[in-house]
Homo-oligomer: A and B are copies of this chain.
Amino acid sequence: MSWLRSAFQDELDGVTNSLVDLCNQVDSAIAKATHALLTANLEEAQEVIDADDKIDDFQHELDARIIDIVARQQPVASDLRALATALRMAADMERMGDMAHHVAKIARLRHPNGAIPSELLLTIEEMGKVASTIAKKTAEVIGSKDVEKAVELEKDDDAMDQLHRKLFQVLLSDDWAHGIETAIDVTLIGRYYERYADHAVSVARRVYYQVTGKFLSDF
């Protein structure tokens, strides 16, 4: 029955490839959303908003495929756990797409003005870069099961947290001269980037656990 086993393995590999694909999609989404936000680019913002439906559909189809594999193949417990984990990873990445979508919506809402005051542009640019780096590494972790890279991601997430704190420092400084509306935008945008990174780290931790059987705790 080795050809059967192999067909099943092909299906599992297909799931992994789709997870990598989904991760690349949400990477593009946050990169473009950040650019739209920094340059008050309405067209780009709209592209991110439109692409989010495709990301959602992609996740739903992947979910259905995973359930179908389980129903047909009746996998052993370990494969079953891997497939359940794949469902959770897909859900995390769908939320990453939502975060990019939220960022793009603020860019669209404030257009033709920029949502971000000039003294915060570099910090937001950096948050976008870290988010994109995290997404790229997460795709690698999923594809190659590289647990060293999963550990690196924890440090990238720390960098994101530091940028998030920096955002609040500027918001709370006595010099803040951009009023409440901009403070609200920046607060929400900061949270979206932070959550984006959290979801990616959650995906990487799941891979780490699958490969090593150990939890990758915060360090």
Residue positions of A touching B, CB distance < 8 A = 63, 67-68, 70-71, 74, 76-77, 80-81, 84, 87-88, 91, 168, 171-172, 176, 180-181, 183-184, 187-188, 191
In the assembled complex, 28 residue pairs joining A and B whose CB atoms fall closer than 8 Å, in A order, are A63-B84, A67-B77, A67-B80, A67-B81, A67-B84, A68-B77, A70-B80, A71-B76, A71-B77, A71-B80, A84-B87, A87-B88, A88-B91, A91-B91, A168-B184, A171-B180, A171-B184, A172-B180, A172-B181, A172-B184, A180-B183, A183-B183, A183-B184, A184-B187, A187-B187, A187-B188, A188-B191, A191-B191
Identity of the chain B residue whose Cβ is nearest the Cβ of A72 in the assembled complex:
B77
A-side interface mostly: helix
A84 to B70 Cα, complex, angstroms: 10
Residues in B whose Cβ lies below 8 Å from that of A76: 71
What are the 8 tightest A-B residue pairs by CB atom distance, in nearest-first order?
A71-B77, A74-B74, A187-B187, A184-B187, A180-B183, A71-B80, A67-B84, A183-B183
A183 to B172 Cα, complex, angstroms: 10
A60 to B107 Cα, complex, angstroms: 37
Identity of the chain B residue whose Cβ is nearest the Cβ of A70 in the assembled complex:
B80
Identity of the chain B residue whose Cβ is nearest the Cβ of A95 in the assembled complex:
B95
A91 to B63 Cα, complex, angstroms: 15
Residues in B whose Cβ lies below 8 Å from that of A91: 88, 91
Identity of the chain B residue whose Cβ is nearest the Cβ of A92 in the assembled complex:
B91
A184 to B68 Cα, complex, angstroms: 45
Residues in B whose Cβ lies below 8 Å from that of A67: 77, 80-81, 84
